[in-house]
């Protein structure tokens, strides 16, 4: 999708530092972090959300990226949250599938990110 900011970031059209990259996904720090560690895992191919027939190999890459990021940022042992929002009522603001990795502090046990 030509006007999608996450497509442009994931495919190198907009420079950013990747914490993880493979053939299917990239991971980079969120520009507006809600926690000390706030990293996004973004598929390189455009998928609007988790219900958009995402290939199994892309989901496997997401899992590998999450493990790599929590190790690299030192939050594996203390704990972290992984969130994907779907649709406007679900809080999705960029209509490209992405996963938030949040950690580095005690997170509120509720589901809403605003309570972080």
pTM of the entire structure?
Answer: 0.92
CATH of domain 5-103: 3.30.428.10
- pLDDT the model gives residue 114: 57
pLDDT of 3 > 70? The answer is yes
- pLDDT the model gives residue 109: 80
- pLDDT the model gives residue 113: 52
**More confident call, 104 vs 114:** 104
Q: Which of 38, 47, 96, 98 is catalytic?
A: 98
Mean pLDDT of the 16-32 span: 97
The verdict on whether 96 is a catalytic residue reads: no
Residue range 43-98, pLDDT digits in tens = 999 999 999 999 999 999 999 999 999 999 999 999 999 999 999 999 999 999 99
- pLDDT the model gives residue 108: 85
| Domain residue ranges in the chain | 5-103
> What is the rounded average pLDDT for all residues in the chain?
93
- What is the DSSP secondary-structure string of 44-101? SS--SSTTS---HHHHHHHHHHHHHHHHHHT-TTT-EEEE---STTTT--SSS--EEE
């Amino acid at each position: 999708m030509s006007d999608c900011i996450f497509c442009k970031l994931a495919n190198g059209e907009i420079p950013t530092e990747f914490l993880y990259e493979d053939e299917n996904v990239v991971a980079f720090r969120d520009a507006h972090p809600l926690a000390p560690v706030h990293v996004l895992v973004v598929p390189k191919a455009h998928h609007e959300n988790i219900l958009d027939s995402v290939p199994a190999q892309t989901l496997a890459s997401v899992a590998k990226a999450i493990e790599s990021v929590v190790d690299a940022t030192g939050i594996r042992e203390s704990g972290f949250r992984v969130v994907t929002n779907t649709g406007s009522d679900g809080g999705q603001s960029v209509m490209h599938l992405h996963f938030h990795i949040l950690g580095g502090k005690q997170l509120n046990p509720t589901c809403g990110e605003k309570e972080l």
